[in-house]
Amino acid sequence: MSRPSSPDRSSTRRSPAARPTDDELLDAARAVFAERGYAQATMGLIAERADSTKPTLYAHFGDKAALFRATVTREVAALRAWVLSAYETASGRPLEERVRLSVMAMFGYAGAHPDSFRMLFDSAVDEMSNERRALADTITAHVADRVREHLLAHGRTPGAGADLLAAMMVGLVGRAAMHVSHSPGADPIAAGELATGFVMAALRGLDPALLDHVDAGQCAR
């Protein structure tokens, strides 16, 4: 539930020694952007959530657009570090276990950091499009490598279809993880296990003829 707005408070609200850090201000911004969306979030609401003042926000970050960009940059870096750590943990393990750890990384983050996940993937604000695209590309490239490994293990030469399959899987897992981030009662572990089973079933049940059509169409261009 969002907090009601209140009139601006004076710059003496905190003593100098108790002034909020940049991270505390960004935490407040993340929460308000996740709850209200970019358009409805205000510097006043963010300052109130941080137990600070609008002049402090402006002094630290500039206007709302600049504060949003700073928040996005921090949250993208945190999610990237989280998923790359999961990928490193999965290195060298059997394929199905690597798929599971990769899928669970997204669900684990959505469950542990729902405000961050909602802010990054609910928003359509242009200021975050490049960062979000770069993050999605990193995740999709990793998944594409797993798809290629699966195809090679089954005697197939990977083509353009591997990248398409990876994009489909990332989209599916991302939307499912978003559902978890909006559902406080949902168990992210159980949801991640279900998604892992879905992805592995899709790989095992892949129709080679359909994949051949995609690869042949790409080669014909």
Residues 6 or more apart whose CB falls under 8 angstroms from that of 77 comprise none
| pLDDT > 50? residue 2 | no
Q: Using the 8-state DSSP alphabet, how is residue 186 labeled?
A: S
| pLDDT on residue 58 | 95
What pLDDT, on the 0 to 100 scale, is given for residue 29?
96
Indicate whether 11 pLDDT > 50: no
Tell me, what's the pLDDT at 9? Answer: 40
Round to whole Å and give the CA distance between 202 and 197: 9
Average pLDDT, the chain: 84
- Overall average pLDDT of the 133-157 stretch: 86
Q: Give the tens place of pLDDT for each residue, 80-120.
A: 999 989 888 888 888 888 888 888 999 999 889 999 998 88
**What pLDDT does residue 205 have?**
86
Would you list the domain boundaries of the chain? 19-62, 73-220
Quick one: tokens of 40? 């409805």
Identify whether the C-beta of residue 108 lies closer than 8 Å to the C-beta of residue 192.
yes
pTM: 0.77
Domain at 19-62: CATH architecture: Orthogonal Bundle (1.10)
Q: How confident is the model at residue 124 (pLDDT cuts 50, 70, 90)?
A: low
Q: Do 73-220 and 19-62 fall under one CATH topology?
A: no
Cβ neighbour number for residue 122 with a 10 Å cutoff = 15
CA distances (Å), origin 201, targets 37, 98, 134, 194: 36, 15, 28, 11
Question: In the predicted model, is pLDDT for residue 151 greater than 80?
Answer: yes
Under CATH, what is the fold of the domain 73-220? Tetracycline Repressor; domain 2 (1.10.357)
Cβ atoms 10, 53 nearer than 8 A: yes
Sign of CA pseudo-dihedral 91, 93, 99, 100 = negative
Least confident of 11-25, 53-67, 183-197: 11-25
